[in-house]
Amino acid sequence: MTSFRFLHAADLHLDSPLRGLGADAPATRIRQATRDALGNLVDLAIRERVDFVVVAGDLYDGDWPDFRTGQALVAAFARLTRAGIRVVAIRGNHDAESVLTRSLRLPDGATLLRADKPDTVDWPEFAVILHGQSFGTRDVQQNLAQSYPAPVRNRFNIGLLHTAATGRPGHASYAPCTVEQLAAHGYDYWALGHIHAREELLRDPWIVFPGNLQGRHVNEGGAKGASLVTVQHGRVAGVEHRALDAVRWERASVDCTGAVDEEAVLERARRAIGEAMDGAEGRLLALRLRLEGPCPAHPALARDPAALRQKLFAAGLEVAEADAFWLEDIRLATRPMQDISALRARDDAVGRLVRAIDALADGPEAAGPMAAGPVAAAQGYASAMLDRAAGGLRQALGPDHPAVQAAEGQLSPEMLRRARDLLLARLAQS
């Protein structure tokens, strides 16, 4: 058998619509990121002189709003084929045949495998044969891999499959199968797609999810890209992850334990942002910061969340260029230095206040009639605090954020805890 190299990519989600971006978000660059990542894939393929590229589904995020989305993919594939690099792809659940209402012809040298049954492409010059099947509809529940043809002798057999395998959190269970089934099928490499986190399910034979090409939100953080596969004399000699994302989504925690004031917290945040910037390696960094730990600075931090966000962003600009950093969100999880357990056990008004606020998590009636005054005070103060914060933050928050829940008339246990801590801090100051 001959030796060759190829790139395994999946889940391009070209022109994926991004929702919930804050007013200060670099929206144009973030929305362009999936195209830029595809361009990076093409650049890498040409630079590394790979022989072919395989894409295991979800080339598009859904039906195109117009033909420009399809043209972007055709242009990228044409760059590859003009460089003598072939392309084989399958459709996934997002770009299934039943989903797309528009289509464009792919350039010669780029092949989209059929959806009605398993399809095969044979390249005798590489001693490579590829098997795969596109999704005809979005909700494919049958085990497609069971119908894939048997491996061809004296060929390096590659299987393209868009699947959840045995299931992964956050991903619908499409085309389910097991690792044992895939391994027993006899192929030399399984090029999987659908799961957006990179994962090597097995190394003999290689069964790989490369992850998506570009993270689309903070829950798809870290380096995203494709797998560069080297085959020597018919055996996989190496599988390397290559980062290709244009925007890097990350989370960072700032330990504020013992920070005496807001400036001390901002200094720690600068260090955390600087480390995250180094990890982004020149990409636009979209960062969610979590401030945590008991500290005397807690009352100052909790007093005005909108102002705190702007101060943290300004701190980031001291270590990053304005066009290289965006503060996606902040999560305030600091707390005052008080011993809450000791305060809860007290028999005075402070103890009754702590117990009343804690009881609110189980419903107002759990607090008891004697706590009506403290309960009302806690509710009123928490509501006022949220009203001040909501104007500057609401557009940037996700549906699970406590402030959004409060805006819908709910006070979550987390928000009640924040209100309790802030009230106690104010009492201590007075």
125-184 per-position pLDDT tens digit:
999 999 999 999 999 999 999 999 999 999 999 999 999 999 887 777 899 999 999 999
Instruction: Quick: pLDDT tens for 36-90.
Output: 999 999 999 999 999 999 999 999 999 998 999 999 999 999 999 999 999 999 9
Name which of 246, 294, 228 is nearest 12 in CA terms.
246
Classify domain 4-243 at the CATH topology level: Purple Acid Phosphatase; chain A, domain 2 (3.60.21)
Going from N- to C-terminal start, the domains of the chain cover: 4-243, 246-337, 342-430
Query: In this predicted model, which residue has the larger pLDDT, 338 or 286?
Result: 286
DSSP designation for 136 = S
- pLDDT bucket at 350, cuts 50 / 70 / 90: confident
Exposed/middle/buried for 391, CB within 10 Å: 0-12, 13-18, 19+? exposed
Instruction: Quick: pLDDT tens for 300-338.
Output: 999 899 999 999 999 999 998 888 999 999 999 998 877
Percentage of the residues of the chain whose pLDDT score is greater than 70? 83
Q: How many residues does the chain have?
A: 430
Q: What is the mean pLDDT of the chain?
A: 87
Which tokens sit at 190? 């399984």
The pLDDT of residue 220 is 94
The pLDDT of residue 425 is 60
| Amino acid at residue number 102 | R
The pLDDT of residue 171 is 78
Supply φ then ψ for residue 61, to 5 degrees.
-85, -15
Tell me: pLDDT of 257 over 90.
Answer: yes
The pLDDT of residue 353 is 77
CB neighbourhood size of 126 (10 A): 18
Residues 203, 236: Cα–Cα separation, whole Å: 9
Residues 22, 291: Cα–Cα separation, whole Å: 20
Sequence-separated (6 or more) residues with CB below 8 Å from residue 95: 57, 58, 59, 60, 61, 62, 135
State mean pLDDT over 225-242.
Answer: 97
Residues 221, 211: Cα–Cα separation, whole Å: 11
**Chain centroid to CA 17:** 14
